[in-house]
Amino acid sequence: MAQAQRSASTSVIVDAIRASGTVSRVGLTVTTGLTGATVSTVVRRLIDDGLVVETGRAESTGGKPRVLLELDPTARYAVGVHLDHASITCTVTDLAGTSVALSTHPGPGTRSPAEVLVETAAEVDRLVDEAGVDRSRVLGIGFVAPGPLTSDGGMHRTPPEMRAWTDYPITSELGRLTGLPVVLENDATASAIGEHWAGGTGTENSFAVLYMGTGLGAGLVLDGVAYRGSSGNAGEIGHTTLDLDGPVCWCGTRGCVEVLAGPAAVVAEARRSPDLAAAAGLSTGTSGSEPQPSVVSDLAAVARAAAAGHPGARDVLERSARYVAAAALTAVNLLDVRMLVLTGASLAAAGDIYLPAVRGVLASSLFARGAHPVDVRLSRTAATAPALGGAALVLQTHLVPAPGPLTSPGPLAPPRHGTPPGEPTPLST
Amino acid sequence: MAQAQRSASTSVIVDAIRASGTVSRVGLTVTTGLTGATVSTVVRRLIDDGLVVETGRAESTGGKPRVLLELDPTARYAVGVHLDHASITCTVTDLAGTSVALSTHPGPGTRSPAEVLVETAAEVDRLVDEAGVDRSRVLGIGFVAPGPLTSDGGMHRTPPEMRAWTDYPITSELGRLTGLPVVLENDATASAIGEHWAGGTGTENSFAVLYMGTGLGAGLVLDGVAYRGSSGNAGEIGHTTLDLDGPVCWCGTRGCVEVLAGPAAVVAEARRSPDLAAAAGLSTGTSGSEPQPSVVSDLAAVARAAAAGHPGARDVLERSARYVAAAALTAVNLLDVRMLVLTGASLAAAGDIYLPAVRGVLASSLFARGAHPVDVRLSRTAATAPALGGAALVLQTHLVPAPGPLTSPGPLAPPRHGTPPGEPTPLST
């Protein structure tokens, strides 16, 4: 297992080149602490594999000019697919994590999972072609879905509006349809990774994202590593208890923030006011326990009504924001993070109400304002961060070996779910 | 910084020998993945430093018998001091983390921090002498106190009954008095580390401890690493919001589990019933916002009354347990851990009420019972785990280098607080 050491050296060097943009071999020995011999060997292999290119020479302080190295972003590609009740977003990214093709289509609605995956496979093919990407350079697909997920590569505990997906073997089916390895990640964690790759979290290495789409979840990056928990289901902030005697949630306990104040609760409350429902343009045909057609678009309609000055709409959202902020405070107190990013389609639509509410509650707490302020910010890439995060996971899985002795897991460790890559990894280890 | 690689190899080898009990050099190459040459070099240095001894020979499968290595537990020692409002516990442990001397004294009461630290320094001297430990082998002191702590080596946000300690420079003062380096850790995190070293968490590498002494906190070990958060104050589960319109907590927000149902709230509620107060033997002189003399001993008295069949005492504790269980569920949903250990003096005293309450709530939740059961257990070493964890931190700090490139942080990373060790580390790196 000196192999583990070589893999570790490779991942450290790839990360260092990516972080530097361009860097010389000597620069790599300085930033990585590896010997010149190790750096030379690993860089030679990366050049042979086409991942790194020599790109020019830098003036040196005496002696001969140094050859500069950089990643070749076109050497490998990855696909990210984000399945939400409201929409399906696909992206193709290059090795640097930059999106080279992107599409958004309506959510699954009443179509079967099998039908949706056939369409998704066709859309992946179309995007790869559209981007002019050599298919042999596509490493795999990161499939992003609402959690909780299972180690069998599917969704086991589905929210009510996605019951048809329960235990459907997403990774094996999509893998079969596309011939690509598929890894699975939940939307909140993928958002956190996507925000990080898109630069939305700057240099912060411990942060949480509060993800509100159809449901409510948190993505956690702790001490630089995406934290997934013992079964890959960490971050279930939607099931933070806020009222011990509150209504029963679909998770089985009472008074969760999701049942009290999540998007479906907001829309249901808005629908109970005929005046507000009419002003926002909500359908009034269904109510009670029936799944709603698109919670996300209905919540966005309520947010538009609030922005247009409808006081009832504002009240409904502010009530929700008060609960969501309390759950955010609990998470920040438990995790001691310096940054919280609000993301997901619902928070993107109503951020002007949720952002000040969360900031206000965090500012009122000794802990949150004590040792350091908590930077609460709205995502600028809420719509695309989950799909981008899915693609980034594929790159990570292939470029960074699994943690082991002498291995730093790198900024974002590989995911636990999904089929193992069906092809040899591009880096010889 | 090839030094970083040598340090990493040293820590990996020390951990492997500790985990194996006895192991040969060849065995170390297998378990660590390091080359035979690296293992030989590092082991030679560890033997020269006296940390590792050759202890016999094992039959080999053909060829000559292999020399077995083990840690010399008497090679180095560490001190753990646990300061709580109710008591001060000191321990001296050997290199294997086994306690070789232990004492418990009354808490600080009305004595000044300066006075308490002078007494503590004398007690440390006495214990080191009593155990017959060569003082030059004592690496330092791990000082454990209620959080939140500061990076200056003191307590900044103190609970009401320990206000005199606010911003008192604990680490520098105790360091001056003893001549030993002092690191600071909060009680809940130290408990988690102590439980781990004492074997109370088995092979589980992600777990939380719910610590209830005078206050309420959580210690988190995630993916094998003690998680402290960005300012060392992770785990503030006591300030989980459970009632948005509840009473104001000393932390600045409303309806925290600590103000609703923490030990002080339990004792205050018990004291409001003259019958219960008399049955439990509580003093009735003070009430309201005044700090109580010893919340922990009063809570233990209520627990004894409940065990003796006083229905009011049982009601008071069960009401508290219901809130504490809801906070535990929120933490488990967010962190996705498979194990929760209930510890601290208050939970040790009333575990027969809190344990079934926490188990019941976790069993009612889809998430907690979904992908895997959550093993909720009562600590068997609640009284000593924090001090033991403090000593273990000192051993970790000296034996495991800080995380860096190519460094696995080991099972428990060194703490962020406190003065840097004043002596050279025992391992040449």
Do A74 and A58 meet the contact criterion of CB atoms below 8 Å apart? no
The position carrying tokens 């960490």 is A234
Residue A4 has pLDDT above 60, yes or no: no
Contact yes or no for B395/A23 (Cβ under 8 A): no
Pick the residue from chain A with its C-alpha nearest to B339: A230
User: Which of A9, A372, A405 lies closest to B33 in CB terms?
Assistant: A405
**Which tens digits make up the pLDDT trace of A261-298?**
999 999 999 999 999 999 999 975 554 444 445 788 89
Chain-chain contact of B228 with A361 (C-beta, under 8 angstroms): no
* Nearest CB to B252 within list A150, A323, A364: A364
**Using a CB-CB distance cutoff of 8 angstroms, which residues of chain A are in contact with residue B334?**
218, 234-237, 240, 331, 334-335
Most A CBs within 10 Å: which of B38, B150, B241, B358, as the mutation test of the A interface? B241
- Whether A227 sits inside 8 A of B231 (CB atoms) is no
Domain boundary among B71, B99, B130: B71
Cβ of A331 and B334 within 8 Å?
Answer: yes
CB contact under 8 A, B233 and A408: no
pLDDT tens digits, residue range A61-84? 666 778 899 989 899 999 999 998
Helix or strand run (H / E) with residue B339: strand B339-343
C-alpha A94: how far from chain center: 17
Give residue B294's pLDDT: 79
A258, A279, A291, A313, B399 from A273: Cα distances, Å: 20, 10, 18, 9, 65
Same-domain check for residues A127 and A232: no
Min Cα separation B236/chain A (Å): 5
* HSE toward the beta carbon, residue A22, CA cutoff 13 A: 10
* pLDDT score recorded for residue B397: 76
Tell me the C-alpha distance between A143 and A168, whole Å: 13
Residue B404 has pLDDT above 80, yes or no: no
Burial B203-237 (b: 16+ CB within 10 A, else e): ebbbbbbbbbbbbbbbbbbbbbbbbbbbbbbbbbb
Confidence of residue A5 (pLDDT cuts 50, 70, 90): low
| Closest residue by Cα to residue B237 from B337, B348, B366, B382 | B337
- State the CATH number of the domain containing residue B118: 3.30.420.40
- Return the residue of B nearest to A9 by Cα: B406
B245 and B346 in a single domain? The answer is yes
* A139, two tokens: 């490493």
Task: Please report, for residues A232, B196, B197, the alpha-carbon distance to residue B202 in angstroms, rounded to integers and kept in the order given.
Answer: 21, 7, 9
As a whole number of angstroms, the distance between CA B118 and CA B113 comes to 9
**Residues, chain A, total?**
429
- B223 with B368, same domain: the answer is yes
H or E, element range at A86: none
Q: Which residues pair with A422 in a beta bridge?
A: none
Query: Which is more confident, B380 or B126?
Result: B126
The verdict on B390 and B354 lying in the same domain is: no
Residue B50 has pLDDT above 60, yes or no: yes
Residue B95: pLDDT band with limits 50, 70, 90: confident
CA distance A178 to A124: 8
CB atoms within 10 A of CB B315: 15
Q: Measured between alpha carbons, how far apart are the two ends of chain A, in Å?
A: 10
Q: How many domains does chain A have?
A: 3
Minimal CA separation from A326 to chain B, in Å:
6
Residue with more model confidence, B232 or B265: B265
Q: Are the C-beta atoms of A220 and A211 separated by less than 8 Å? A: no
In a domain, B65, yes or no: yes
* Minimum mean pLDDT range among A12-16, B278-282, B390-394: A12-16
The strand pairing partners of B142, in sequence order, are B80, B183
ipTM confidence: 0.80
Residue B111 pLDDT greater than 50, yes or no: yes
pLDDT value, residue A15: 73
Query: Where among A71, A93, A114 does a domain terminate?
Result: A71
Share of chain B above pLDDT 90, in %: 52
Contact A252 B34 (CB under 8 A): no
Please tell me the least confidently modeled range out of A65-69, A403-407, B287-291: A403-407
Instruction: Give the helix/strand (H/E) hosting B384.
Output: none
- What is the spatial distance between Cα B398 and Cα B378, in angstroms, rounded to a whole number? 31
Q: Tell me: pLDDT of B38 over 60.
A: yes
In a domain, A410, yes or no: no
- Is A160 within a domain? yes
Tell me if A417 is assigned to some domain. Answer: no
* B318 inside domain: yes
Same domain, B60 and B125: no
Q: Given this model, what pLDDT does residue B407 score?
A: 26
Q: Which of B396, B398, B361 is nearest to B376 (CA)?
A: B361
Q: Angle of helix B2-20 relative to helix B36-48, nearest 10 degrees? A: 80
**What integer best gives the mean pLDDT of chain B?**
83
Answer yes or no: do B39 and B101 share one domain: no
Residue A419 pLDDT class (50, 70, 90 cuts): very low
Q: Model confidence over A325-342: pLDDT tens digits?
A: 999 999 999 999 999 999
Distance CA B352, CA B424 (A): 47
Of B34, B49, B71, which residue is a domain's last? B71
- Helices and strands of chain B, counted as H and E runs: 14, 13
Q: Which residue among B239, B244, B336 places its CB closest to the CB of A322? A: B244
Q: Which residue has the tokens 């009240």?
A: A315
Domain membership of residue B310 (yes or no) is yes
Question: A182 and A221 share a domain?
Answer: no
The model's confidence at residue B24, banded by pLDDT at 50, 70 and 90, is very high
Residues A267, A318, single domain; the answer is yes
Interface test with A, best of B334, B337, B340, B372 (most A CBs within 10 A): B334
pLDDT number for residue A284: 59
Is A407 within a domain? Answer: no
A304 and A238 within one domain: yes
Q: What is the C-alpha end-to-end distance of chain B, expressed in Å?
A: 10
The DSSP bridge partners found for residue A142 are A80, A183
* pLDDT at residue B419 tops 50: no
Q: What pLDDT score was predicted for residue B398?
A: 75
**Shortest distance, CA A175 to any CA of chain B (angstroms):** 24
Q: Are residues B345 and B264 in the same domain?
A: yes
User: Percentage of chain B with pLDDT > 70?
Assistant: 82
Nearest to A406 among B157, B206, B406 (CB): B406
B343 pLDDT exceeds 90?
yes
Has residue B134 got a pLDDT over 80? yes
Q: Do A241 and B330 touch (CB under 8 A)?
A: yes
**pLDDT tops 60 at residue B5:** no
Give yes or no for a contact between A252 and A243, defined as CB atoms under 8 angstroms apart: no
| Interface probe with B: pick from A209, A336, A374, most Cβ of B within 10 Å | A336
CA angle at A96 for the pair A91 and A97, rounded to the nearest 5°: 30
Question: Residue B58: which pLDDT band, with cuts at 50, 70 and 90?
Answer: confident
Q: Report in angstroms the alpha-carbon separations of A279 from A269, A286, A302, A304.
A: 14, 17, 8, 10
Q: Could B233 and A371 be called an inter-chain contact, meaning their C-beta atoms sit closer than 8 Å? A: yes
Most confident of A344-353, B41-50, B315-324, B365-374: B315-324
- Is residue B8 in some structural domain? yes
- A387 within 8 A of A131, measured Cβ to Cβ: no
- Enclosing domain of residue A22: 2-71
Say what the pLDDT of residue B204 is: 84
In this structure, the number of other CB atoms found within 10 A of the CB of residue B135 comes to 11
B254 in the same domain as B369: yes
What gap in Å lies between CA B409 and CA B229, rounded to an integer?
Answer: 15
Closest CA of chain B from A335, distance in Å: 5
Beta-carbon separation of A244 and B329 below 8 A: no
CB contact set of A7 (below 8 Å; sequence gap of 6+): A401, A407, A427, A429
Cβ <8 Å between B223 and A225: yes
Using the structure block, give the residue that is written with the tokens 């235990």.
Answer: A167
Sheet holding A138-145, edge to edge: A99-106, A87-94, A77-83, A138-145, A182-186
Same domain, A347 and A210: yes
Mean pLDDT on A172-188: 94
Q: What is the CATH number of the domain that holds B50?
A: 1.10.10.10
Which three-class secondary structure state does DSSP give residue A366?
helix
Rounded distance between C-alpha atoms, residue B195 and residue A307, angstroms: 53
Highest mean pLDDT: which of A5-19, B270-284, B325-339, B384-398?
B325-339
Under an 8 A CB cutoff, do B242 and A239 touch? no
Flag the least confident range among B121-135, B378-392, B397-411.
Answer: B397-411
Rounded average pLDDT over B268-280: 95
Q: Which of B242, B403, B405 comes nearest A33 by C-beta?
A: B405
Give the orientation angle of helix A311-335 with respect to helix A295-307, to 10 degrees. 120
